[in-house]
Amino acid sequence: MDPFWIVVTVIAVVLLGYLISIYNHLVRLKHQVSQSWSNIDVLLKQRHDELPKLVDSCKEHMGYESQTLQKVIEARSAVSGARESGNVKALGAAETLLRQSLGSLFAVVEDYPELRASDSFVHLQQRITGLENDIADRREFYNDAVNSLNTRIEQFPDVLVARRFSFNAAELLKFDTAELKDHSIKSLFS
């Protein structure tokens, strides 16, 4: 065999291997984004299940604070709708609304010492606070995975493979700037 064709064949095999490597890395990043979203989704579902218990616990002691409780219920529904549709932008806005509503609820709770002393309320409050912290952690992992994917599909030569196989950019999970002002609602619990 002619040495020229051997060199061409080796170059073609190396190039093909490199393109396959790029494709496989993009697939891995795409699945990391999906997995990170699933981790957030699990926590959102858990919190979704806990919120009615919290509202019911509060209703027993806070009869005339129905507007505050209604805001929590409406925000919970908005988060659920955005989560189920997979709309990351709407989820960010709904999450901000829910966190603000919970902050208002926990601020109002200060006026009800018997509620603050209730074991079920304290347990639910701690559970929801823990879920909030876990959601924040998972949001960070999700956004890291999204950044990795989005960076790779824009870099050369990865962009050629990404365009050819329709890899699309993922959307970051952002909360409104109002969310950034309130770093933790734990201070409202003490």
Those residues whose C-beta lies under 8 Å from the C-beta of residue 22, and which sit 6 or more positions away, are 157, 158, 161
pLDDT by 10s per residue, the chain, length 190: 789 999 999 999 999 999 999 999 999 999 999 999 999 989 989 988 888 888 887 877 666 567 778 888 888 888 888 888 888 888 888 888 888 888 888 887 777 777 777 787 888 888 888 998 898 899 999 999 999 999 999 999 999 999 999 999 998 888 765 544 444 444 444 4
Alpha-carbon distances, residue 164 vs 17, 19, 161, 168 (angstroms)? 16, 11, 5, 11
Please report where in the chains the tokens 């924040």 appear, as a residue: 136
**Both tokens assigned to 180:** 């950034």
pTM over 0.85: no
CA distance 28 to 4: 36
Domains of the chain, residue spans? 3-189
Q: Tell me if the domain spanning 3-189 has CATH number 1.10.3720.10.
A: no
